[in-house]
Amino acid sequence: MKDQITALMEALRLSQIEIEKLKRKRQDVFATVAHLEGILGDPVVTAAIQSLEPFAPSPSLVPETTEPELV
């Protein structure tokens, strides 16, 4: 799991660099999107994303309450 998190964090870092280039007008939106597609399309990143568990809600600290029925 550590390798997957590392791969995702690196992809996030590289993506932020590409977005900064766009913000500073060093590259256009088409180049930014192409680079982001390359980052996210990397087989290591794709495998890391697929290995993540689906969202599972955490238990609530407060018990669920039901609304009283109106008569």
pLDDT digits (tens, 9 = 90+) for 26-68: 999 999 999 999 999 999 999 998 888 776 666 667 666 666 6
52 near 31, Cβ under 8 Å? no
- With b for 16 or more beta-carbon neighbours within 10 A and e for fewer, the 9-23 pattern comes to eebeebbeebeeebe
Task: Give CA–CA dist 31/35, Å, rounded.
Answer: 6
Closest CA to 18 of 38, 3, 4: 38
Q: Can you list the alpha helix ranges (DSSP code H) found in the chain?
A: 2-23, 29-40, 43-51
Predicted TM-score (pTM) of this structure = 0.69
Examine the pLDDT at 16 and tell me if it is beyond 90: yes
